[in-house]
A and B are shown apart, each in its own frame.
Chain A
Amino acid sequence: MIKVKNLHKKFGDLTVLNGIDEHISQGEVVVVIGPSGSGKSTFLRCLNLLEDVTEGEIYVDDQLINTSKVNINEVRQKMGMVFQQFNLFPHLTIMDNITLAPVLLKKMTKEDAVKKGHELLKRVNLGEKAQAYPAQLSGGQKQRVAIARALAMNPEIMLFDEPTSALDPEMVGEVLDVMKDLAKSGMTMVIVTHEMGFAREVASRVLFVDQGMIMESGTPDEVFGNPQNVRTKLFLSKVL
């Protein structure tokens, strides 16, 4: 579903990604872990070209996307993204946050989008908040709305960029629960996170990224239970 070949990303002189090859298949839940500054968020942001790629190729559904021939907006419609800082639109109600993109991009009529919005809000346990504004919600509620907003476009893939890192500890659980349900429903997901327990429980595969490269890749049992790479061992000994 997503194929990454020899991905490099430089910010000026700073090399953040240094040759990443990766293949993510349909239905996989890939959790990306690694120390801060390792390039894991940049890797995720390259997948929908929120960062432009310095070198290498990214394919989505066998289509090369980092070329000027491709309409990136259409590709992004298939890829939902959830941000660390939620990035809800503060001037719109929760319902308008959810329906803006599908209606504007003519994926649905307004009525269908609102109906779908109510379903999605129910799914993330925020059924009664449709007419509230983002400022009236807690962090955990905002992030669940952000997930619902991304799902409203019926994406094939969901990207999560440290979705719980900006949350108060007692709100982490509610967001992870929504993500677990989503994983169970068969959604293809790529998740950058520091929640090792969650990674262990939900991931079908874990990637350990350090110094802009994938140092280790395997099932949670393999990576957490019997890490092969020295850096993985060092990192896990610090965080577990």
Chain B
Amino acid sequence: MTAFQEWVSNFSNLFYKCFIREDRYKLLVSGIGVTIKVSLLAVVIGILIGMLIALCNLSKRKPIKFFGNLYTGIIRGTPSVTQLMIIYFVVFATVDLDKWIIAAIAFGINSGAYVSEIIRAGIMSVDHGQTEAGRSLGLNAFQTMTRIVIPQAVKNIFPALCNEFIVLIKETAIVGYVGLMDIQKAGDFIKSATFVAFMPLIGTAVIYYVLIKILTLLFQRIEKVLRKSDIR
């Protein structure tokens, strides 16, 4: 047997042991489901909180601005594992909610702080002349914000938001700390069960990579549509 053939048979044996035997792939498949569920809900919560905190940070009222700064300060100043565990074991300790929902809330709260900074930057990136033009036509502040400023801000911040979404997906790899079986935890579980480190960990990495690659391609499509008005 040549070295290459040996390697191939070794690889397929490991592959079989780690993914096929005892239906271990099912762990990973359900892990993908958990990762996607948690990430999606967290993104929605993150964007809602982000908008709210961005408005707080842009507010002229001191107490509101203070609250916004405090929020971003605390979230950015503490590790997300710590936040996740505090939310799970302290805040929701006595609340009867699905684990994945609590985890999504924790990641949403975390993501909201970063999203708020992105949104704030996006709103400030729109030239003040746009606001003046809207107001000079007789639109009120709200109409100017929703019809003129925010549509332009969204276009400006879309790449940054996508990036935040991707960071968030990878961040969820710590949900094992509160006992959820996501992709990472599933890979880890297989590693413990088979005493093989290479195959399950590389497999985990490949799954995350493919997931994020698909998302990136989707984002690029959307961005192209958003950039329609930039064509010269």
A residues neighboring B (CB under 8 Å): 48, 50, 73-74, 76-77, 79-81, 83, 85, 87-93, 100-101, 104-105, 133-136, 149-150, 153
Contact = CB atoms under 8 A, between A and B. Distances in A.
Given A135-B230, A135-B232, A136-B231, A50 B140 contact: no
A136 B152 contact: no
Contact of B151 (A85, A88, A91): A91
Interface of B: 127, 129-130, 132-140, 143, 147-148, 151-152, 155, 228-232
A133 B228 CA distance: 9
Contacts of A79: 136
Given A85-B129, A91-B155, A104 B147 contact: yes
A154 B228 CA distance: 30
Contacts of A89: 130, 133-134, 148, 152
Nearest to A50: B132
Most chain A CB inside 10 Å of its own CB: which residue of B130, B151, B229, B230? B229
A101 B147 CA distance: 10
16 contacts: A76-B138, A81-B136, A83-B136, A85-B127, A87-B130, A89-B130, A89-B133, A89-B148, A90-B152, A92-B229, A101-B137, A104-B139, A105-B138, A133-B230, A149-B137, A153-B137
Nearest to B226: A91
The 7 closest A-B pairs by CB, nearest first: A77-B138, A87-B133, A101-B137, A81-B136, A87-B129, A133-B229, A76-B138
Contacts of A104: 139, 143, 147
Nearest to A71: B140
A135 to B, nearest CB: 5
B139 A50 contact: no
A10 B140 CA distance: 25
B129 A83 contact: yes
Contact of A83 (B133, B140, B230, B231): B133
Contacts of A135: 229-232
B135 A76 contact: yes
A83 B232 CA distance: 22
Nearest to A82: B136
Contacts of A133: 228-231
Contacts of A83: 129, 132-133, 136
A150 B133 CA distance: 9
A77 B143 CA distance: 14
A136 B232 contact: yes
A93 B42 CA distance: 35
Contacts of B229: 90-93, 133-135
